Amino acid sequence: GPIAVVVAALAALAKIPPNAPRTQIASEVRRAKRVVALAVAVADIGGAWTLEQITETLSTLATATLGLVVAHLLRDAHDRGDLVLPFKDDPARASGFVALGMGKLGAGELNYSSDIDLILLHDPDAGIYNGDSPTGFYTRLARNLVTLMEVRDADGYVFRTDLRLRPDPAATPPCIALPAAIAYYESMGQNWERAAMLKARPVAGDLALGAHFLSELRPFVWRRQRDFAAIADIGAMKRRIDIHRASAAAYNVKLGAGGIREIEFLTQTLQMVWGGHDPGLRDPRTLVALKLLAKAGHLPRRTQASLERAYRFLRQVEHRLQMVADRQTHSLPETATGLADFSRFMGFASADAFETVLRRHQVHVQNAYRALFGVADANGATVLDFSGTDDIPVETTEALSAFGFADPAKVAVTVRAWRAGRPRALRSARAQELMAQLLPAVLAALAGQSNPTGALARFDDFLTHLPAGVAILSLFQHYPDLLGRIAAVLGASPMLADHLTRHPAALEGLLAPRATPDYLPLLTAQLGDAQTLEDSIVAIRTTVREEEFALAVATLEGRIEADDAGVARAALADAALGALLPAVLADFARRFGKIRGGGLAVVLLGKAGGREMMAGSDLDLMLIYDHPGTVQNSTASLPARTLPASQWFIRAVHSYIGALTAPDADGPMYAVDMRLRPSGNKGPVAVSLAGFER
């Protein structure tokens, strides 16, 4: 069957040594392409394989052929004396050269006639080059790679290869030095490049180097603060595609309205918005990502299901189009006869039947896409003119009075400062554009408070403390009701307003309030990138404050009863204690070893223990430890030193309490009160289980 054919073809490819003659390499990778593509097509047409099996197999083929080509080029350079490899029999290993698969290759979603999009990187310090610079050497290697993969000969070709997704392709060599690439993305990377990197993976060469590169780029790709500006940027990119294709005669299933690209853009944009805060959403595969987004509540289940059906159908159309003479096309036939023939190839009795199903899927995709990217201006008809330095026009004064502001002149002073870019967050052209669009809605929301002038002053303070404005203003644009909620916070609670001013990211928690607190997985996920105990403390402390703020606002808005808020705060404290303890003990064990068979329990007392925790409450704690009587000291490897068991636990608890109470500019994560322990303030901070039982 097809599976056996594919396995045999890939196994034969794996047996070819990298030092084989180039003519043999070129012939073998082309033969493998023909055999595997034919087997996949048979399984596809016969309905034996799912879309995932088809695209994953084609992607595996591309990875295998590319891996052999890269290994051959590196080994050939080593044998000719142009490069010294650390492992000539495994040329890719620690070679300092890596090919990143982007787009459909990176996600394992290739179709029959896909280009493979690559970014080629090299470590300028990794190799020894004889008589050439790293740039010159890898430029030649890149050109040879493209030639081996895409040039047609008597055996055909392997995959068309595109290197244009690299940074600034018009001005950079085809293979970029790793430090230069990192510097580019960190200083100049754009949202479309973030979207491209969502699907990036090392596919050939030094895979460890590729993994290191992607790890370095993680903060660029996955921003902790939800970046709703990405919605506008990706939407603008799609509109440029639409304008470019406006004159196309035939429908393009990839780029056309309601096509594959709209599903991909929608999915990637939602991942960019939410994935920085939720690592569980970071899957490069479109269908998997849609399911994850729906499960997390960022996409309606019905929308996810309709998008999945549309994606599967459109990809099948794409595959059938490309099976005909291996054409790199995504457009339906333009003639009636051609469309009728293709419709039968798709299994439909007529072109009308095919087009009916196609249009239904298009409509579902367009509706979902417009729901995300189509944004209407709020209160666009309101006349507000704050230009110049003279008195504001009568129409603007009347509009402000109608909003409810008692002193329009004071409002004008504040708004003119915004227009002048006095707050740093409003100095970019894009921020000014967004604020101009949002201004009527902003003023209307603030005017609805009991003290509009005070609410305006606090909103001005909020803007003044923002490091950048585009992301937050874009968030307000896409969630208009959020403006009213923030205005209510600014108008009703100076304490919450102060917290929001110093921590603008806290408002993101208002977008997806949890009905049932389940904080431990949330806190644990934040520790994924923590390298030190300090990193863990900062991550947990930041999340605790965000969730405390969200609970306070939910209480203020009446979305949660005070008693339920007390239960939720206690659950949050419980989770914070549980997430922090393993991090503290792991750090302590590195310095002083471990107590074999020992354990430490954290007991929560008082209001937190009774699930009646108030905002700002102390944590009443008692810590109890136990260990086998035969264990007298910790066991440690150098450079750690051992401690007596009781001393080990007492010092570990001091570290734990220190982590909980370590202050930053906003104070500690929690204040801790240990006076309820058996010995009160006079005894040790931790008590043994035997002592507690006595």
What phi, psi does 313 have (nearest 5°)?
A: -65, -50
Region 572-585 average pLDDT:
88
Over 80: is that where the pLDDT of 552 sits? no
Band (pLDDT 50/70/90 cuts) for residue 290 is very high
Pick the closest to residue 165 from 121, 132, 127 (CA basis). Answer: 121
Q: Residue 203 is inside which H or E element, if any?
A: strand 201-205
What's the residue count for the chain? 694
Q: What is the pLDDT of residue 377?
A: 35
List the beta strands (DSSP E) in 8-137: 83-84, 97-101, 116-122, 128-129
Residues contacting 402, CB < 8 A, separation 6+: none
Over 60: is that where the pLDDT of 393 sits? yes
Q: 467 or 621: which carries more pLDDT confidence? A: 621
Picking from 232-241, 451-460, 645-654, 668-677, which range would have the lowest pLDDT averaged per residue? 232-241
Return the residue matching tokens 């008693």.
563
- CA 59, CA 8: separation in Å to the nearest integer? 16
Q: What is the pLDDT of residue 692?
A: 73
Over 90: is that where the pLDDT of 620 sits? no
- CA 442, CA 330: separation in Å to the nearest integer? 44
Q: Hey, what amino acid is at 232?
A: A
DSSP state of 12: H
Pick the closest to residue 439 from 503, 506, 377 (CA basis). Answer: 377
Over 50: is that where the pLDDT of 385 sits? yes
- 257 and 366 Cβ atoms separated by less than 8 Å: yes
- 286 and 311 Cβ atoms separated by less than 8 Å: yes
- CA 252, CA 378: separation in Å to the nearest integer? 34
Over 70: is that where the pLDDT of 408 sits? yes
Kindly state the tokens that stand for 668.
Answer: 């500690």
Over 50: is that where the pLDDT of 378 sits? no
Over 50: is that where the pLDDT of 305 sits? yes
Kindly state the tokens that stand for 332.
Answer: 């339906």
Predicted TM-score (pTM) of the model is 0.64
- CA 559, CA 512: separation in Å to the nearest integer? 13
Domain boundary assignment for the chain: 2-221, 230-373, 394-511, 533-693
For domain 2-221, give the CATH superfamily.
Answer: Beta Polymerase, domain 2 (3.30.460.10)
Band (pLDDT 50/70/90 cuts) for residue 250 is confident
Name beta bridge partners: 331: 252
- CA 500, CA 450: separation in Å to the nearest integer? 19
* Among the four given CATH numbers 3.90.550.10, 3.40.50.720, 3.90.1010.10, 3.30.460.10, the one describing domain 533-693: 3.30.460.10
Q: Do domains 2-221 and 533-693 have the same CATH topology?
A: yes
Query: What CATH topology corresponds to 230-373?
Result: Four Helix Bundle (Hemerythrin (Met), subunit A) (1.20.120)
- CA 447, CA 203: separation in Å to the nearest integer? 56
Peptide bond into 639 cis (omega under 30): yes
Return the residue matching tokens 């603030």.
446
Q: What is the pLDDT of residue 508?
A: 64
Using a pLDDT cut of 90, give the percent of the chain over it: 38
Q: 324 or 24: which carries more pLDDT confidence? A: 24
Q: What is the pLDDT of residue 101?
A: 98
Q: What is the pLDDT of residue 120?
A: 98
Q: 130 or 352: which carries more pLDDT confidence? A: 352
Give, in degrees to the nearest 5, the angle at Cα 686 between 684 and 689.
Answer: 120
DSSP-derived 3-state class of residue 672: strand
- 168 and 184 Cβ atoms separated by less than 8 Å: yes
Band (pLDDT 50/70/90 cuts) for residue 183 is very high
Band (pLDDT 50/70/90 cuts) for residue 384 is low
Over 80: is that where the pLDDT of 682 sits? no
**Pairing between β-strand 128-129 and β-strand 83-84 as defined by DSSP bridges:** antiparallel
Using CA atoms of 474, 232, 294, 511 in order, give the dihedral in degrees to the nearest 10: 0
